[in-house]
């Protein structure tokens, strides 16, 4: 769940797009942008035109292709010459033409339409609306709101790196209202957390929590921001249990305190405002506490697994369950159950619990289109299979169909940290193709 206030996306107009090309053929416009990149690389490196061609691996008369569509080796060479990322060069060369604003489409109307797209879960529509908002924005605050909308669209599609980029761009703008800046910061924590940037997410969440310790929140927006900040800080501490084993107890205690408090705040918000989505987030906090309490030794791991298994009976068939924060919460209960099994259970309890939980997590992730759940479920299932092979010598074969391969490929694209695992899965799997 994101904070819905105004939601994130594209960079400001690039130097490369400073000349209008709205009425230019797309290929010609792309060739023009590519030519500027080539000129920029020559100036940056201080090369002669011959040196430029040599370093780019091109004939002097054919550095820029007439089609305007560069081959990959040229994009890589330009990125290396400019000390840019390859993806940034490709994005700027392939930039879509500027949007033409339709008369009568004022910012407020476009913003209302973007909010409707967000509530409907129409993420591509939200991105399209965010781009129109960005094109029609006249003030830093409006640009920030447009970027926040774009961020929400990218987040919904699992494009967390793009979401993070939009939020960073939005927060660089001034002046912003305190409320808008607060929402952007909370969403920034969520983007870092989704990408496993635990240190960054934890530090930003701590800053927000401390702000509310010094001055209690006023109004719904600040109260929601406080609850999310506590939840994210608690989840970061929970994740640190595995990565910092020497500080596992300290992290577990901090996680317990934050998640307990966040869960209480979300439950109060759900009752007070009649918004059951807050209840779903509170339920996620309760599931996380099962994992944390096992680390603290106040809950037997087998009891925790039993509690989670029993709770999943309510979503036996995720396709019949309404999508939303409650269903997502049980997807995360599955992940918390896997973490309990990994740290505390021996065979055969370990494999039984892991098989149940990863399977259900993938079912829920597919129902919701939730890429974060997919990343965790695939990673944990691969861990289970590797442990089985190590302990028994038995190699559990992955059997994947084409849809599974597409999902794994999509997960690899969205989570750089998952790519190594994804390649291992694909290398070891037996892929069943459609006849």
pLDDT band at 13 (very low <50, low <70, confident <90, very high): very low
The fraction of the chain above a pLDDT of 70, given in percent, is: 92
Q: Is the pLDDT of residue 421 over 80?
A: yes
Q: Residues 94-138: pLDDT tens digits?
A: 765 545 555 557 899 999 999 999 988 899 999 999 999 998 999
Residue 46 backbone class (left: φ over 0; alpha: ψ -120 to 50; beta: rest): left
State the average pLDDT for the chain. 88
Q: How confident is the model over 74-83, as a mean pLDDT?
A: 89
pLDDT band at 214 (very low <50, low <70, confident <90, very high): very high
CB of 70 closer than 8 Å to CB of 111: no
pLDDT band at 335 (very low <50, low <70, confident <90, very high): very high
In the prediction, which pLDDT does 336 show? 98
CB of 360 closer than 8 Å to CB of 312: yes
pTM of the model: 0.84
Q: Residues 336-378: pLDDT tens digits?
A: 999 999 999 998 899 999 999 999 999 999 999 999 999 999 9
In the prediction, which pLDDT does 434 show? 64
For the record, the structure tokens of 56 come out as: 């780019």
pLDDT band at 381 (very low <50, low <70, confident <90, very high): very high
In the prediction, which pLDDT does 61 show? 79
Q: How confident is the model over 18-42, as a mean pLDDT?
A: 72
In the prediction, which pLDDT does 294 show? 97
In the prediction, which pLDDT does 70 show? 86
pLDDT band at 15 (very low <50, low <70, confident <90, very high): very low
Domain ranges of the chain: 21-93, 186-373
Q: Is the pLDDT of residue 7 over 50?
A: no
For the record, the structure tokens of 383 come out as: 């861990």
Q: What's the topology of domain 186-373? A: 1.25.40
pLDDT band at 285 (very low <50, low <70, confident <90, very high): very high
Least confident piece of the model among 44-58, 186-200, 249-263, 296-310 = 44-58
Least confident piece of the model among 92-101, 315-324, 403-412 = 92-101
In the prediction, which pLDDT does 103 show? 55
Which has the higher per-residue pLDDT, 187 or 43?
A: 187
Q: How confident is the model over 267-275, as a mean pLDDT?
A: 96
CB of 9 closer than 8 Å to CB of 131: yes
Q: Which of 98, 58, 61 is nearest to 77 (CA)?
A: 58
3-state secondary structure of 430: strand
Q: What are phi and psi of 278, to 5 degrees?
A: -65, -35
Q: What are phi and psi of 347, to 5 degrees?
A: -65, 145
3-state secondary structure of 399: strand
H or E element that contains 400: strand 399-401
The CATH number of 21-93 is which of 1.10.3720.10, 1.10.260.40, 2.60.40.10, 3.40.50.300?
1.10.260.40
Q: How confident is the model over 61-69, as a mean pLDDT?
A: 82
Q: Is the pLDDT of residue 20 over 50?
A: no
DSSP state of 57: T
For the record, the structure tokens of 94 come out as: 């392939």
Q: Residues 422-433: pLDDT tens digits?
A: 999 998 888 887
Q: How confident is the model over 271-297, as a mean pLDDT?
A: 97
In a 13 Å sphere around the CA of 281, the CA atoms on its Cβ side amount to 28
Residues 6+ apart with CB under 8 A from 179: 5, 221, 222
The fraction of the chain above a pLDDT of 90, given in percent, is: 65
In the prediction, which pLDDT does 11 show? 35
CB of 123 closer than 8 Å to CB of 157: yes
């Amino acid at each position: 769940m994101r904070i819905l206030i105004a939601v994130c996306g594209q960079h400001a107009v690039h130097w490369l797009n400073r000349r209008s090309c709205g009425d230019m053929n797309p290929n010609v416009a792309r060739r023009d942008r590519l030519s500027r990149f080539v000129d920029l690389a020559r100036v940056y490196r201080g090369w002669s035109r011959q040196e430029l061609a040599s370093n780019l691996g091109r004939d002097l008369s054919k550095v820029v292709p007439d089609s305007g569509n560069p081959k990959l080796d040229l994009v890589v060479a330009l990125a290396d010459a400019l000390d840019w990322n390859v993806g940034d060069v490709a994005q700027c060369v392939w930039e879509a033409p500027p949007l033409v604003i339709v008369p009568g489409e004022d910012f407020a109307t476009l913003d209302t339409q973007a909010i409707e797209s967000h509530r409907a879960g129409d993420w591509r529509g939200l991105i399209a609306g965010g781009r129109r908002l960005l094109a029609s924005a006249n003030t830093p605050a409006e640009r920030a709101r447009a970027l926040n909308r774009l961020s929400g669209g990218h987040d919904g599609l699992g494009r967390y790196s793009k979401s993070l980029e939009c939020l960073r761009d939005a927060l660089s703008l001034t002046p912003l209202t305190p409320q808008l800046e607060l929402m952007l910061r909370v969403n920034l924590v969520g983007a870092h957390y989704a990408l496993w940037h635990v240190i960054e997410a934890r530090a930003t969440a701590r800053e927000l929590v401390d702000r509310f310790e010094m001055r209690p929140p006023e109004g719904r927006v600040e109260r929601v921001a406080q609850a999310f900040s506590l939840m994210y800080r608690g989840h970061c501490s929970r994740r640190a249990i595995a990565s910092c084993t020497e500080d596992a107890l300290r992290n577990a205690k901090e996680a317990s305190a934050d998640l307990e408090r966040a869960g209480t705040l979300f439950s109060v918000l759900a009752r007070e405002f009649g918004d059951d989505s807050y209840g779903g987030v509170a339920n996620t906090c309760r599931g996380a506490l099962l994992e944390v309490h096992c680390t603290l030794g106040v809950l037997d791991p087998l009891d925790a697994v039993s509690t989670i298994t029993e709770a999943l009976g309510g979503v036996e068939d995720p396709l019949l369950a309404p999508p939303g924060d409650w269903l997502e919460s049980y997807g995360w209960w599955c992940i918390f159950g896997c973490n309990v099994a990994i740290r505390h259970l021996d065979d055969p309890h370990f494999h039984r619990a892991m098989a149940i939980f990863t399977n259900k997590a993938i079912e829920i992730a597919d129902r919701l289109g939730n890429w974060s759940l997919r990343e965790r479920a695939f990673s944990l299932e691969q861990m289970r299979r590797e442990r089985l092979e190590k302990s028994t010598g038995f190699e559990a074969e992955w059997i994947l169909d084409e849809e599974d391969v597409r999902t794994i490929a999509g997960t690899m694209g969205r989570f750089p940290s998952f790519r190594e695992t994804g390649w291992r899965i694909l290398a070891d799997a037996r892929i069943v193709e459609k006849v």
